Chains A and B, each alone.
Chain A
Amino acid sequence: MRLISLVPTNTKINFLKFRKIAAVFSLLLCVASAGIFSAKGLNFGIDFRGGILIEIRTQGPADISKLRGTLSGLGLGEVQLQEFGQASDVLIRIERQAGGEKAQLVAVELAKKALGNEVNYRRTEFVGPKVGGELIEAGVTAVLLALGAMLVYIWFRFEWQFGVGAVVALLHDVLLTIGIFALLGLEFNLSTVAAILTIAGYSINDTVVVYDRVRENLRKYKQMPLAELLNVSINGTLSRTLLTSVTTLLALSALYFFGGEVLAGFSFAMIWGVIVGTYSSIFIAVPLLVYMKLRRTGLIVGDTDGDDAAAAGKSAN
């Protein structure tokens, strides 16, 4: 059986040659993301903004304009209706009502009364102003702590330069994810935060694999110029990087297309994150090391496990 291979063996692509173009490209994307984010803002879901979400299924295709007429007559402020998955499913979003939690409850009751008993209530969610604020806080804390903890771990396992490189790549991925959500106006909710954290984990995971190779090569080829050494490391792990991205993307596409409407936003964020994360490991995280003085001697003196001996044995082969 002939095996398919995504990447030809022994590639010698000069990735470092593209580092300036990649840096400019990424910088532009980051600036654009930040710009869109500050101009347009994120389409926060009710998890963060508070408000009401009702998903209904009507008998037969839903008459959205009639439903809108029914609901907008209630004086509940902004009411958004959206077809959700299929023609009979409608997602209704009602903005957060002025006043406390009681006001939200009353609005839910009013809306349900207006919609009547003919529709099937698939989902009713309401988040009061108090909880919304707490969820934002918890989400931001979780993301910041995760970034911090990963930085510390990499710093601990590698040299600080690697930690900086990995976190720059990570911030790049997170920023671009927020950017695409702002650009497309996709709903940003709790599962998006979960997706961002998972993207962070995946992106670091990808970076760590290449960094591990860089560290190994630093011990093995003491005379090789750094840029060349980084190229060798990227090429050496290229096949793995792409293969894992492909299997992950395969699984995520199954989720995106068939996992149901509720998970679609989450899987979209993840798909985007995997693509961006793979790109940033190769073109951002590793090339950044060129600009930071890596102490080769420190790595050898500080760490004398079997790798050195193995490398020496191999060069004798």
Chain B
Amino acid sequence: MVYFAKWKIILVAIVSILGLASAFPNFLSEEDAAALPGFMPSQQINLGLDLQGGSHLLLEVDVAAVLSQRREGLVDAIRDGMRGGTPRIGYRRLGIRGECVGFDLLREEDLSRARRIVRDLDTNSFDPQLETNVDGLVVTVCATVTGKREILTSAVQQSIEIVRRRIDELGTREPTIQRQGSDRILVQVPGIDDPERLKAIIGKTARMTFHLVDQTNSAAASCGAGRRRPPGTVCLPSQDEFDAANNPIMYLVKRRIMVDGENLVDAQGTFQDGQAVVSFRFDSVGARRFGTVTRQNVGQPFAIVLDKKVVSAPRINEPILGGNGIISGNFTIQTAGDLALLLRAGALPAPLTVLEERTVGAELGADSIAAGEFASVLAIVLVIVFMAAAYGLFGFMADVALILNIVLIAAVLSMLQATLTLPGIAGIVLTIGMAVDANVLIFERIREEARNGRTPISAVDAGYSRALTTIIDANITTLIAAVLLFQFGSGPIKGFAVTLAVGLLTSMFTAIMVTRMMVVLWLHRRRPKKLPL
């Protein structure tokens, strides 16, 4: 005798009500959904960037640059350490050797002091980040595996922080910025209308430094192939001044940094004499240092260097003691504003490379939603009509289950706060077609059993119990595909996997529980002699 337990009826009722309540906010506008009373669920399905429009950028931190910067820093630190000792430690050939830093000691008795200097540079004594090898008088210092990992991790974290600050400054809503893998950053910014500007702002390292310009030698005599640079200087091209042959003008500047952009506390794009400029303010340390240097070098030019290019090289007319200054250059309002933004947000520890970009305009997103909605509704109507035509009353019950199934998919997606993408909509449409499969299996089985001479009740009973294993076997294989897609797919494809898997699970529930309940209740009420199948 077919029997449908009371608790199962209650379960179906509860799931249906919860499903309806959770799916409901999706039919409201964002404001109306937020205004729902507290006991009602108000979360809506997240739309993927391909549906709401926006930019997806995959960035990579330049690991080689991070490590090489770290080696340069190590060279400076070792030099300072050895010069600072009393008596001075004699050394020569201090510099980068492959992946390491090396130097030759002049006297063997300095070895233990040199070792101590290096050890003191290691910030972590439990898990050393530096490793010293000595061969006679030759000392090499290398980063250990954990040391390298540590350097990389902090560089990535710092980059994420800086990128977040820069994007926040742009005033976009709800950007997602997260670490991916060991050295990558995924940036998702919804509703951006100028992706090129976004890329330009993220892609700049924006390291600003102030240097004195070498006055004793000329850039023309020192820069270029085959010419010797005086020690302690470096040749840097201008950012926007060009000579007759359209090559950037070169500046010969002192390598030593007067003041670092790290000491900036504020920067704003503004106007001076009708020209767009960037005004800045140093913190107390920066202001003091800037004051000292400008006092000592009145009348000399200093170079403002951004990412190894000279923005401008004004003359110091008088000591600048207040810590405020202005950068003039060939700026437009927009470029001055962007530079100020970059200076406020701080410099990236290393350059970022854009590995992948996917930007969808808001208009295409809206078109995709409209097309997806229409296709879904059409698919539902077609399947509903077909099922009713093929199975009559039973098909109608399957249709009710199908509609409940779609409500449940929307409910689960809202509750999980999963992201609905365009392929995700395809997954839902596909589920609409496949969801009725479980019911088709059951109804066909019932038909067959009835044909073999079973009474309606016995046929229904046998149909459900026999079809069950088949339904589970058949759905598990598709679930396997969905899980692997989720694991290996990227962005939008993950969305497809999610809706496919959710749709399969909810369709099993609606087929096994909901239609069964309807069929059994109908049988009890009508007690038909013959099934209308």
Contacts and interface: CB of A to CB of B under 8 A. Distances in A.
Contact of B481 (A55, A197, A247): A197
Contact of A128 (B355, B474, B484): B355
Contact of A247 (B58, B196, B364, B436): B436
Contacts of B375: 254-255, 257-260, 263
B389 A208 contact: no
Contact of B477 (A139, A204, A314): A204
B199 interface: yes
A246 interface: yes
A6 interface: yes
B191 interface: no
Contact of A194 (B358, B372, B480, B496): B496
A81 interface: no
B470 interface: yes
Contacts of B441: 209, 240, 244
A57 B490 CA distance: 27
Given A135-B490, A205-B475, A259-B425, A10 B451 contact: yes
B355 A255 contact: no
Interface in A44-93: 55, 57
B182 to A, nearest CB: 13
Interface in A236-259: 236-237, 239-240, 243-244, 246-255, 257-259
A208 B470 contact: yes
A150 interface: yes
Interface in A169-226: 190-191, 193-194, 197-198, 200-202, 204-206, 208-209, 212-213, 216
B478 A112 contact: no
Interface in B179-196: 195-196
Contacts of A295: none
Interface in B352-397: 353-361, 363-364, 367-368, 371-372, 374-376, 378-379, 382-383, 386-387, 389-392
Contacts of B462: 310
Interface string B449-465: 00111100000001000
Given A105-B199, A131-B58, A310-B462, A251 B484 contact: no
Given A205-B478, A250-B386, A252-B429, A124 B357 contact: yes
A253 B423 CA distance: 15
B433 interface: yes
A251 B433 contact: yes
B32 interface: no
B131 interface: no
Contacts of B437: 205, 244, 247-248
A267 B426 contact: yes
Interface residues on B, range: 35 or more
B440 A247 contact: yes
Contact of A251 (B383, B389, B391, B480): B383
Contact of B389 (A3, A112, A120, A198): A3
B379 A194 contact: no
Contacts of A243: 390, 440, 444
A16 interface: no
**Interface size class of chain A, counting residues whose CB lies under 8 Å from the partner chain:** 35 or more
Nearest to B370: A260
Contacts of A251: 379, 382-383, 429-430, 432-434
Interface in B322-360: 353-360
16 contacts: A3-B392, A131-B356, A135-B490, A153-B476, A198-B485, A201-B478, A208-B470, A208-B473, A237-B444, A254-B429, A255-B426, A258-B371, A260-B375, A262-B422, A263-B371, A307-B466
Q: 3 smallest A-B Cβ distances: which pairs?
A: A251-B433, A260-B371, A201-B478
Interface of A: 1, 3-6, 9-10, 55, 57, 100-102, 105, 108-109, 112, 120-128, 130-131, 135, 138-139, 141-142, 145-146, 149-150, 153-154, 157, 190-191, 193-194, 197-198, 200-202, 204-206, 208-209, 212-213, 216, 236-237, 239-240, 243-244, 246-255, 257-260, 262-263, 266-267, 270, 307, 310, 314, 317
Interface of B: 50, 58, 60, 195-196, 199, 203, 353-361, 363-364, 367-368, 371-372, 374-376, 378-379, 382-383, 386-387, 389-392, 422-423, 425-426, 429-430, 432-434, 436-437, 440-441, 444, 447-448, 451-454, 462, 466, 469-470, 473-482, 484-485, 487-490, 492-493, 496-497, 500, 533
